[in-house]
Amino acid sequence: MQDEKLENSIMGKIKSGQVKLKSKYIFWAEKLGLGTAFALTVVLSILFFNLILFYLKETDNLKYLSFGKFGIFAFLESFPYLLVIVFTILIVLAGYLLTRSDVSYKKPFGYLAIGMVVLIMIFGGVLTYTNLGQSVEKQARMGNESMKMLFKPLTDARDNGVAGIVFEEGEGYLILQTPQGLRKVETGEVEGMPEIEKGQFIISVGAGGENFKAKKIKVMNKEDMPAVNRGIDFKFRGFNDKDPKSIPPDMLYFSETERECIGQCFKQNNNGPDCFKECHEQQ
């Protein structure tokens, strides 16, 4: 009797339009759409986790923490916020899609979520052995706007930290080759100034844009920051080969007088470091 009443109730709702039936084709289409969206979100999460690992491993970001409290601002300034934000959004979206799937009804969501995150971390870690990160980095340096936005801290000049190769060493200053161009660093206030020679790879923390005043400097190996070294090679490939079309390269925060003096000196085919020395002494 109860089964008959339930059947009549359901049929009544169907006839009145309160309950709508879906064909099996629509049902499977929705299920496949949900599964595709979940799979795509997980794949993107893996890619972004890999890019975060790549950035932290190959750039100067984490190296600033070795300066203690002096390197905090440089670390924060160079941190890949956009990569982390997008990755977090993808993880949340993947978790939401997981709750809408049939699997979430069969097993506790907590276990599924933990398994998903572990899976993303494992595959993201495996991808570090590929050239994916370097490919994205190359696209960013070549001007691809979307890639450049993701790697923005790496491609932009900073006010609280700088890393590069010593191009010239003078009394109270250094000229560095950086991924953004030549940059002048004032060293008069450096505590415990190390012995520095031309061609060495250094990292420094301090303050200032136009006049970067270093507080601490460390001599590093190029292998410690491969992405920075690749950026320098990319920026100065013509300059180091004495290609006159690329001389002088971008000069960050130099005064107009210095720019004109250095540019004129290079046009006269003078030696690069001598040009900086002569023009610096004229100030």
pLDDT at 132 over 50: yes
Average confidence (pLDDT) over 173-193 = 88
Provide the percentage of residues in the chain whose pLDDT is more than 90: 34
Q: What is the pLDDT at residue 149?
A: 87
Domain boundaries, the chain: 23-153, 157-281
Q: What is the pLDDT at residue 170?
A: 82
195 φ/ψ sector (left φ>0, alpha ψ -120 to 50, else beta) = beta
Q: Residue 23's pLDDT band (boundaries 50, 70, 90)?
A: very low
pLDDT at 26 over 60: no
Average confidence (pLDDT) over 98-106 = 68
202-229 tens-digit pLDDT = 999 998 776 789 999 999 998 899 999 9
Architecture of domain 157-281: Beta Barrel (2.40)
Helix (H) or strand (E) segment spanning residue 12: helix 2-16
Is the N-terminal amide bond of 273 cis, ω within 30° of 0? no
145-160 tens-digit pLDDT = 888 888 888 888 888 9
Q: What is the pLDDT at residue 226?
A: 93
C-alpha to C-alpha distances, 124 to 60, 171, 182, nearest whole angstrom: 21, 47, 35
Contact 12, 19 (CB under 8 A): no
How far is 165 from 183, CA to CA, in rounded Å?
A: 10
Contact 206, 182 (CB under 8 A): no
Average confidence (pLDDT) over 267-272 = 61
Lowest mean pLDDT segment, chosen from 25-29, 248-252, 255-259: 25-29
pLDDT at 248 over 90: no
Lowest mean pLDDT segment, chosen from 62-66, 75-79, 191-195, 239-243: 239-243
Token code pair at residue 214:
């270093």
Mean pLDDT, rounded, of the chain: 80
Q: Residue 103's pLDDT band (boundaries 50, 70, 90)?
A: low
Average confidence (pLDDT) over 5-30 = 51
Identity of the residue numbered 240: N
C-alpha to C-alpha distances, 109 to 50, 93, 104, 128, 134, nearest whole angstrom: 25, 14, 6, 29, 36
